[in-house]
Chains A and B, each alone.
Chain A
Amino acid sequence: MDLLTFLQVLDSTMRLATPLLLACLAGLYSERAGIFDIGLEGKMLAAAFLSAAVAFTTGSAWLGLLAGIGASLALSAIHGLASITFRGNQLISGVAINFLAAGLTVVVAQSWFGQGGRTPQLAGAARFEPITLPFADALRDVPVLGPIYYELISGHTALVYLALLLVPLTWWVLYATRFGLRMRAVGENPAAVDTAGVSVIGLRYAAVAICGVLCGIAGTYLATALQAGFVKDMSAGRGYIALAALIFAKWRPWYALYACLLFGFLQALALRPDVIEGALGFKVNGQLLDVLPYILTVIILAGFVGKAIPPRAGGAPYVKER
């Protein structure tokens, strides 16, 4: 396999890992604050639809992004209401949100555009265009480093770079700010946070809202950057893979990046069966590559390769003692 093919696979790894990374970081905020969220999938889907619909109507991808974040935040609000205010079951709420998004997007898309539950194709400014980094064209012919810079590092959309920047930012917020410390504490021992006079409910709502914003960006990326428009069920299980990546990363930001890159790499390989065959000398079943993230996660969960321990207060609603 030559360098260029390899770089192409890595390039598509970047593009496929981005929505996973955004959703994974979204889940990280929520779950670190003690709110399980299996509704990542639904939030991405809702954001994908509304961003594509608004981007098509207004012709602006950035307005689409705002709309996508809005849609995802609305579902986050439901999740917060159910799991924080009304102390309901967080998993059931997540399931409901996934179905709500799967159904509503198609129903609304059908009545809005009448194209069988999808939005029209996006073009021009309604999509996020790839950004060519400075000197990418000039350096293209430099051996080895030139193609790496041109193919792999340059030429992604703004949202890809945003997702990558969010990793150190999340790390900083989580481990170097007061908010991050309190947020982690609220996921481990909410009673202690409450005793210190900090609002458990406020912190948890903040975390759920951040989760909504990030899922909104992830969904918008799917519909306006990775693809050109919304189609039914376009999130295609990515929310669940992100969840798997979160467990794989043991709820830590840098590891989340590595896990998402790994799972993105598997997705990229599944698209290029010729590359695998060339590299390994035998055919690898595409289905196997598709489910490898899930199988790896089960193995990690089983604790055979290092144990994944979730935040201790995760999934439990907080009831003030009287």
Chain B
Amino acid sequence: MDVMPKWADVVLIPLISLILAATLSAIVILAIGESPTNALKIMVDGALGSTYGWGYTLYYATNFIFTGLAVSIAFHARMFNIGGEGQAMMGGLGVALVCMFIPWPHWSLALLGGIVAAAVFGAAWAAIPAFLQAKRGSHIVITTIMFNFIAAALLNYLLIGALKPQGSMEPATGKFPEATHLPNLHDVLGFFGIEFSKAAPANITFFVAILACVAVWALIWRTKLGYELRAFGHSESAAKYAGISPTKIIMVSMLISGGLAGMMAINNVQGEAERLVLNAVEGAGFIGIAVALMGRSHPFGVFLAAILFGFLYQGGAELALWTKIPREMIVVIQALVILFTGALDNMVRMPLERAFLAAKRRNKGAA
């Protein structure tokens, strides 16, 4: 039985959680002797006040859409993929290899090549934990955490060894060839006659991310596989009884999840840095968890939540620039969002459900 109308579940609860997180963040900012209203103003101005700010906001949002979708699709099959970070790192490796060692004639082909390589590498990194979960029952959360560390070490090893150009001291690959460079939003929107900042890193990958949202939506709610995935997520035993193979669902959902997380690399590695550096992911894999929780695992919700976190990221950088509030403040906000929308969901939900029940009874009494 649904106690609450759908809008309350989809809009009201995330909104209340967000307000709680924002209030606590404001208290933290007050406690360290800064003004929360001033901080908010700087964040809004810095992240949304110019096309330059928007360019950064959308750039970060693109990363978070991919990692958020990755966590969401696993959530639908009741898997908790905490390994987005490692999968995105490996996606970066795939992109780097494809960009460096294949002579691409044009960026559009290089983009396709990058997408395939990133998805394959990301999916491959999710495949082992998925297989161990499906076949040996090892807990996916623990194995994906371990794989994050293994990916970081592997990348570290490659970037100070085989992939580093000769004579370079920095642990990074060389610059990718010109033909693999992706057009940024300045070029894309300029084509339609819209002015956009040239310096901002947002690029054509943003549109790939939107396409990914649509594709994931169609997959989950419009295909047989998506139905099986959700059925498995709701009840493993019922799904089994209906002839759905748990092994298949675990493998497929985790492969898609890993592939999506890996695809983040076309934005940050191919689109922005145009080379592979250490720690290119910068925690975006983990932010995917907050984004998926906030967006209620729905692609449209993920899109909105990713924009919100993009805003927080760019705004947070501006804060660090103009005030004494360090960049880590966004990590605090991120933690509070995860806490309230994820772990303490029932704290918000229970009183609301009670209120709606009471309202229902009163209505019945009146009628």
Contacts and interface: CB of A to CB of B under 8 A. Distances in A.
The answer to whether A and B interact is: yes
Interface of A: 38, 78, 81-83, 86-93, 95-100, 102-104, 106-108, 110-111, 117, 237, 240, 243-244, 247, 285, 287-288, 290-291, 294-295, 297-298, 301-303, 308, 310
A95 to B, nearest CB: 6
A310 B140 CA distance: 13
Contacts of B128: 298
A237 B137 CA distance: 24
A292 B286 CA distance: 23
B129 to A, nearest CB: 8
Given A110-B326, A298-B147, A92 B136 contact: no
B335 A103 contact: yes
Nearest to B152: A291
Contacts of A96: 335-336, 338-339, 342-343
Contacts of B139: 301, 310
Interface stretch (B45-53, B54-62, B202-210, B344-352): B344-352
Contacts of B325: 107
A99 B150 contact: no
Contacts of A95: 82, 286, 289, 338, 342
B339 A106 contact: no
B286 A243 contact: no
Contacts of B33: 111
A38 B141 contact: yes
B293 A107 contact: no
Contacts of B339: 78, 82, 93, 96-97, 100
B324 interface: yes
Task: Provide the main secondary structure of the chain B interface.
Answer: helix
Contacts of B108: none
A111 B324 contact: yes
B27 to A, nearest CB: 12
B352 to A, nearest CB: 13
A135 to B, nearest CB: 43
B153 A291 contact: yes
Interface in B121-150: 128, 132, 136-139, 141-143, 145-147, 149-150
A38 B342 CA distance: 15
B330 A103 contact: yes
Contacts of B328: 102-104, 106-107, 110, 117
A257 B326 CA distance: 39
A82 B346 CA distance: 8
Contacts of B136: 301-303
Nearest to A116: B326
The size class of the interface chain B forms with chain A is: 35 or more
B28 interface: yes
Contacts of A288: 153, 157
A84 to B, nearest CB: 11
B238 interface: no
A104 B32 CA distance: 11
A81 B343 CA distance: 9
Contacts of A111: 31-33, 324
Contacts of B329: 103, 107
Contacts of B173: none
Contacts of B150: 291, 294-295, 298
A295 B32 CA distance: 41
A86 B351 CA distance: 12
A240 B145 CA distance: 8
B145 A38 contact: yes
B280 to A, nearest CB: 17
Contact of A100 (B32, B153, B332): B332
Nearest to A90: B343
B32 A107 contact: yes
28 contacts: A38-B141, A38-B145, A82-B339, A83-B343, A89-B343, A92-B342, A92-B343, A93-B342, A93-B344, A95-B289, A96-B335, A96-B343, A99-B331, A100-B332, A102-B331, A103-B330, A103-B334, A107-B28, A107-B328, A117-B326, A240-B149, A285-B157, A287-B157, A288-B153, A301-B138, A301-B142, A308-B138, A310-B139
A103 B332 contact: yes
Contacts of A90: 343
B107 interface: no
B104 interface: no
Contacts of B141: 38, 91
A237 B142 contact: no
B82 A287 contact: no
B326 A301 contact: no
A196 B292 CA distance: 40
Contacts of A298: 128, 132, 138, 143, 146-147, 150
B356 interface: no
